[in-house]
Amino acid sequence: MGLEVGTLAAIGAAVSAASTVVGGVSSFMQARSQAKVMEQQADFERAQAQIDANEFKRRQRRLLGTARATRGATGVDLLSGSPLLVDDETVDEIVFQTERVRQGGDIRATRLEQQAGFTRSSGASALAGSVVSAGGTFLTGSTGQSMFGGASDPVAASTRAGRADLRQPNAMGRLSGRR
- 88-112 pLDDT tens trace: 999 999 999 999 999 999 999 999 9
Give burial (CB, 10 Å; 0-12/13-18/19+) of 52.
middle
pLDDT band per the 50, 70, 90 thresholds, residue 14: confident
Average of per-residue pLDDT values in the chain:
82
- Long-range CB contacts for residues 9-13, cutoff 8 Å, separation at least 24: 9/141, 9/142, 9/144, 9/152, 9/153, 9/156, 10/141, 10/142, 12/141, 13/137, 13/138, 13/139, 13/140, 13/141, 13/142
Read off the pLDDT of residues 37-82 as tens digits, 9 standing for 90 and up: 999 999 999 999 999 999 999 999 999 999 888 888 888 887 778 8
pTM of the model: 0.62
Contact criterion met (CB below 8 Å) for 137 and 20: yes
More confident residue, 8 or 37: 37
pLDDT recorded at residue 168: 55
pLDDT of amino acid 10: 79
